[in-house]
């Protein structure tokens, strides 16, 4: 081959390689970019497949950033981010004594134990976190890594399965780096020593932040199937990879193979149910969800899936009510069961019992934005507006970027004809991504802001052309504008 042709081929290969890397970078979470130019070394190791080395360099970058950005800030979390384990441990123990029901300092102590290689202590602390905040994502990840490092690969998979079935993700970047490092450590083992099904689940977790991990997740899942390593869970991983790629038929086939290997795999049952539901096969969807509940009636996640199906798909509130009442009877400290009971009671218009159920949920678990919003909605239905406003404000304090509580406040102010306050809340809803409500347009017209009412109504109709209320309002707005023009 001529030197010029070889040079052209080499350049072409470099260009193609660069394009592949750029495409991957565009799809990756920004956490892979780090906090400074030092993170470029970490990214290089990561792209080369050295996940353990990348995690260590990313951690060094995080510590440097933490020491500069969080200098002087009290608390265990800033100390942990800055890499000062001694101060982080002392602060976490102090915080835990001051607030026994707060899981955060316990989670910090669990992370510190894991960093120090004290897996037993990490497991004990993570268990305490999970007792306070069931299925805490970061605590489950800590549990999985601790078990993995102790060689308890099946128990590690169980912890990862519990975490991965939720749509939410962990909040701690430090835990993410620990998982990345553990994945690299297991990847680096000789092929015969790798726990294939565990690695499939670890890469499935990392795929959340970098879609390129779908390939190793599928590869390890296939190897697990070939070696008889948790075959049903490996098929579920393959199914979920297919789902993310939009290959629904392949995903369903993989779920079916999982159920052939283990008819009691609830993840496969629920996955197959979702496929049936997507096809409009409601009877089969219902049967599969019921089977999952029969397999594990104490699994609150599975029972929650049945509740959602009964309420959203069937509108069968009496059965959903009976399901929630049975769950509460089994465990009066089950906050989610109380929440589901309140949800059905509210749908049925039984607002006083719903308020009691929500309050029971609040007594059994840490305060959440969604629960405070539900309490606010119920109090508003009961005409207890001052208490409802207080609940909505507590919800906003927990999550200022969530629009739902502002809708509730806007409705209360609107009923009281406090137009400026109501308009302010509904405008904030729109800015927070909650959409335009035709009620805001009506308030503009009510307060004489005809042009704003016109723009608002047209915007509503642009997204909802069949909105009859907006169509009627537009006629009123145009009539008001013509009347104003005639008066001039």
Task: Name the CATH topology of 367-435.
Answer: 1.25.40
Given a cut of 50, is residue 308 above it in pLDDT? Answer: yes
Q: Structure pTM? A: 0.79
Q: How confident is the model at residue 19 (pLDDT cuts 50, 70, 90)?
A: very low
Measured CA to CA, the distance from residue 212 to residue 24 in angstroms comes to: 7
The answer to whether 213 and 204 are in contact (CB under 8 A) is yes
Q: Describe the crossing of helices 450-463 and 468-487 by its angle, rounded to 10 degrees.
A: 150
Give the number of C-alpha atoms closer than 13 A to the C-alpha of residue 222, restricted to the C-beta side. 8
Fold agreement (27-188, 197-296) = yes
pLDDT bucket at 389, cuts 50 / 70 / 90: very high
Per-residue pLDDT, 28: 81
202, 160 contact by CB (below 8 A): yes
Is the per-residue pLDDT at 183 higher than 70?
yes
pLDDT score of 16 more than 50: no
- Tell whether the model's pLDDT for residue 300 goes beyond 60: yes
Structure token digits, residue 479? 């009539």
Q: Which CATH superfamily is domain 312-361 in?
A: Tetratricopeptide repeat domain (1.25.40.10)
In the numeric block, the tokens 């949800």 are attached to 343
Task: Examine the pLDDT at 239 and tell me if it is beyond 70.
Answer: yes
Domain 27-188 has CATH 1.25.40.10: yes
97 vs 90, 92, 120, CA distance in Å?
Answer: 11, 9, 21
Rounded mean pLDDT of 195-201? 97
Q: 3: pLDDT confidence band, cut at 50, 70 and 90?
A: low
Q: Where are the domains of the chain?
A: 27-188, 197-296, 312-361, 367-435, 436-488
In angstroms, the CA 112 to CA 87 distance is 11
* Architecture of the domain spanning 197-296: Alpha Horseshoe (1.25)
Where b means 16+ CB within 10 Å and e means fewer, 277-316 reads beeeeeeebbebbebbbeeeeeebbbbbbbbebbbeeeee
């Amino acid at each position: 081959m001529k030197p010029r042709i070889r040079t052209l081929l080499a350049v072409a290969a470099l260009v193609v390689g660069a394009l592949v890397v750029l495409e991957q970078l565009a799809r990756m979470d920004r956490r892979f970019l780090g906090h400074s130019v030092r993170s470029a070394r970490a990214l290089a190791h990561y792209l080369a497949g050295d996940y353990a080395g990348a995690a260590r360099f990313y951690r060094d970058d995080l510590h440097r950033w933490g020491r500069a950005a969080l200098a002087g800030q009290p608390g265990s979390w800033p100390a942990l981010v800055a890499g000062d384990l001694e101060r982080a441990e002392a602060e976490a123990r102090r915080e835990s004594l001051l607030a026994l029901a707060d899981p955060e300092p316990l989670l910090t102590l669990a992370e510190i134990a894991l960093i120090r290689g004290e897996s037993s202590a990490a497991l004990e602390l993570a268990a305490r976190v999970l007792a306070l905040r069931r299925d805490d994502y970061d605590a489950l990840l800590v549990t999985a890594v601790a078990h993995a490092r102790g060689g308890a690969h099946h128990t590690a998979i169980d912890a990862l399965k519990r975490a991965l079935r939720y749509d939410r993700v962990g909040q701690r970047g430090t835990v993410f780096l620990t998982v990345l490092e553990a994945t690299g450590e297991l990847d680096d083992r000789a092929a015969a020593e790798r726990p294939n099904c565990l690695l499939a689940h670890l890469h499935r977790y990392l795929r959340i932040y970098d879609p390129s991990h779908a390939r190793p997740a599928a590869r390890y899942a296939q190897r697990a199937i070939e070696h008889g390593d948790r075959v049903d869970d490996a098929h579920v991983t393959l199914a979920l990879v297919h789902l993310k790629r939009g290959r629904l038929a392949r995903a369903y086939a993989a779920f079916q193979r999982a159920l052939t290997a283990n008819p009691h795999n609830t993840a496969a049952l629920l996955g197959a149910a979702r496929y049936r539901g997507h096809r409009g096969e409601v009877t089969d969807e219902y049967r599969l969800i019921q089977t999952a509940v029969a397999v594990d009636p104490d699994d609150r996640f599975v029972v929650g899936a049945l509740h959602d199906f009964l309420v959203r798909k069937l509108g069968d509130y009496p059965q959903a009510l009976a399901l929630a009442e049975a769950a509460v009877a089994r465990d009066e400290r089950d906050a989610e069961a109380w929440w589901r009971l309140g949800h059905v009671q509210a749908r049925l218009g039984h607002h006083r019992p719903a308020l009691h159920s929500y309050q029971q949920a609040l007594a059994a678990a840490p305060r959440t934005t969604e629960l405070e919003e539900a309490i606010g909605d119920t109090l508003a239905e009961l005409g207890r507006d001052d208490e409802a406003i207080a609940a909505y404000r507590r919800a906003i304090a927990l999550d200022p970027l969530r629009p739902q509580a502002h809708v509730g406040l806007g409705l209360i102010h609107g009923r009281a004809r406090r137009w400026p306050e109501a308009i302010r809340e509904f405008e904030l809803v729109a800015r927070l991504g909650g959409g335009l409500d035709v009620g805001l347009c009506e308030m503009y017209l009510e307060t004489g802001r005809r042009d704003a009412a016109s723009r608002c109504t047209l915007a509503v109709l642009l997204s909802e052309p069949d909105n009859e209320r907006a169509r009627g309002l537009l006629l009123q707005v145009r009539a008001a504008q013509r009347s104003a023009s005639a008066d001039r």
